[in-house]
């Protein structure tokens, strides 16, 4: 497998936010979001076997049992399914963060799928695999990265169309660092949510604030 990096940090997103976590970042991505903050993972990386990855996770990070497989886009590499299964078999809690453009149904049912649905401002909303929202599992989480009111209104329609609030955890994440507007974006999104009584989880990227890894 082509691996960009393996490191430990505080989980900055999802309902697992705040927990120590080992991140296995795989290389390669099939999308080019306008606000992408991991462009360095598009191509750079080193070849590692599945066993080498698991040994690195276990030997270096010892008792940390929360692992996130991320990217880039991890589902581009066929071996990711075996990697996640072997980690689960060893007792790890496994999160798989995918960009929503590839069917995620082949992942082990024990894995927690964090499916990122791209909003219009990303420039990639037409690349989504909507079948992922038809086959959600109770432990799955859906993440929307928003950059403006147009994104917010679009997301509300998606949530309603697929009945997401009754099925899974829904996460709103403000875009960071792309314009002066992004500094006030968390507050704006919070105001929109409260006005609409929308019961979703607003998250800022905690790892960017604490800068620990």
SS3 category, 43: coil
Digitized pLDDT (tens) for each residue of the chain, 213 residues in all: 999 999 999 999 999 999 999 999 999 999 999 999 899 999 889 999 999 999 999 987 888 899 999 999 999 999 999 999 999 999 999 999 999 999 999 999 999 999 999 999 999 999 999 999 999 999 999 999 999 999 999 999 999 999 999 999 999 999 986 555 567 899 999 999 999 999 999 998 887 777 766
What CA dihedral angle connects 49, 54, 58 and 60, to 10 degrees? 40
Q: For residues 207 and 105, give the distance between their C-alpha atoms in angstroms, rounded to a whole number.
A: 29
Which residues, including other chains, have CB under 8 Å from residue 158's CB and lie 6 or more apart?
Answer: 117, 133, 144, 164
Q: Domains of the chain, with CATH numbers?
A: 2-210 (3.20.20.70)
Reported pTM: 0.93
The helix or strand, by DSSP H or E, that contains position 118, with its residue range, turns out to be none
């Amino acid at each position: 497998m082509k691996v960009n990096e393996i490191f430990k940090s505080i989980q900055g997103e999802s309902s697992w936010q705040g927990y120590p976590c080992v991140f296995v970042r795989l290389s390669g991505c099939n999308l080019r979001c306008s606000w992408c903050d991991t462009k360095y993972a598009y191509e750079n990386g080193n070849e590692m076997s599945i066993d080498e990855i698991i040994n690195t996770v276990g030997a270096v990070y010892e008792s940390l049992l929360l692992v996130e497989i991320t990217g880039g886009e991890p589902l581009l590499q066929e071996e990711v399914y075996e990697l996640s299964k072997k980690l689960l078999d060893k007792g790890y809690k496994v999160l798989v963060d995918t960009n929503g453009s590839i069917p995620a149904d082949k992942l082990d049912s024990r894995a927690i799928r964090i499916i990122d649905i791209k909003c219009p401002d990303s420039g990639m909303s037409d690349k989504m695999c909507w079948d992922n929202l038809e086959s959600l599992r109770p432990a799955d989480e859906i993440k929307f990265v928003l950059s403006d009111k147009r994104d917010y209104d679009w997301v509300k329609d998606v949530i309603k169309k697929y009945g997401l609030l009754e099925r899974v955890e829904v996460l709103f994440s403000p875009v960071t660092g792309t314009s002066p507007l992004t500094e006030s974006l968390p507050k704006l999104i919070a105001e929109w949510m409260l006005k609409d009584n929308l019961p979703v989880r607003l998250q800022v990227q905690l790892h960017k604030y604490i800068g620990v890894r």
